[in-house]
Structure 1
Amino acid sequence: MAEGIVELTSSKWETEVLNSKGVIMVDFWAPWCGPCRIIAPTIEELAKEYEGKIKVGKLNTDENPEIATRYGIMGIPTIMFFKDGQRVDQIVGVVPKSILKSKLDSLLSS
């Protein structure tokens, strides 16, 4: 896992996401997913840029299918946003960095 990114698993989900304060961006991905590899460098850049302001996690949907099922993940990459343990938004597919930044800035200012 890249610096500043938490590898999420079913066993860590409650502690790292649901019981956390602040904004968390979770990338639902799988190793075989081409679009996931395309957006991965953007996720890593945002983890560095927002270090200390948000938590960034990645959840491998192949290894943790129960979490993906719980949140109705039908396509990957899905980027899900949580604030104080509550899901507040999500984006499916590859999107420009500017869209993710504006979503994070909005969540941080609300």
Structure 2
Amino acid sequence: MPIAADFVKSVTGETFAALVLASSEPVAVEFMSYGCEHCRLLEPVLQEVAETLGAREAVFRVNIAVDQELADRYEIEGTPTLVMYSGGIEVGRAVGPNPSVKVLWNAVTRPFEEIAS
């Protein structure tokens, strides 16, 4: 059975600043945990959104079970939490399980559309 492409890349405390905060492109970060049922339900939808966005925006994930310091620094109180960044600054946040492509698409792209206008 072929392995599906992973369009959502993992970042850690060591790579977060370079890949997220220093990015010249808009970035969405899912703070998640592999033990979180809602995160597992969200994964295929987030993969679809990330694949559709392609190179326009980057979509990353942070496993808060491994990188608790990042979760604390960005005040993540529950999973899944999507945080959108532009120019290293948080420009949007969506918390909780909303596993539909439309909801995620809006959560990920709306903050960047508002900045552009």
TM-score when scaled to structure 1?
Answer: 0.91
Evaluate the alpha carbon distance shift between residue 9 and residue 2 of structure 1 in structure 2; reply closer, same or farther with a 3 A threshold. Answer: farther
Deviation per CA, 1:64-110: give whole Å up to 9, x if none: 00000001111100011111211111111111321221233333432
* Runs of 4+ with deviation above 3 angstroms: none
Match of 2:109 in 1: 105
Of residues 23-32 and 1-10 in structure 1, the stretch that sits farther from structure 2 once superposed is 1-10
Deviation per CA, 1:22-54: give whole Å up to 9, x if none: 211111111110000010111100111000111
- Alignment coverage as a number of residue pairs: 110
Q: Distance in 2 between matches of 1:5 and 1:58?
A: 6
Q: Distance in 1 between matches of 2:62 and 2:29?
A: 7
Contact 2:9 2:61 in 1 (8 A): yes
Which sections of structure 2, spanning at least 5 residues, go unmatched? none
Match of 2:20 in 1: 17
Asked which structure has the greater CA Rg, the reply is 2
Between structures 1 and 2, the one with greater strand share: 1
Over the matched positions of the two proteins, sequence identity in percent amounts to: 25
Q: Distance in 2 between matches of 1:70 and 1:2?
A: 30
Letter in 1 for 2:109: D
Letter in 2 for 1:27: E
**CA RMSD, Structure 1 to Structure 2 (Å):** 1.5
Q: Secondary structure at the match of 2:14?
A: helix
Match of 1:70 in 2: 73
Contact 1:80 1:91 in 2 (8 A): yes
Which sections of structure 1, spanning at least 5 residues, go unmatched? none
Match of 1:5 in 2: 8
Q: Distance in 2 between matches of 1:34 and 1:103?
A: 20
Deviation at 1:2, TM superposition (A): 4.6
Evaluate the alpha carbon distance shift between residue 61 and residue 50 of structure 1 in structure 2; reply closer, same or farther with a 3 A threshold. Answer: same
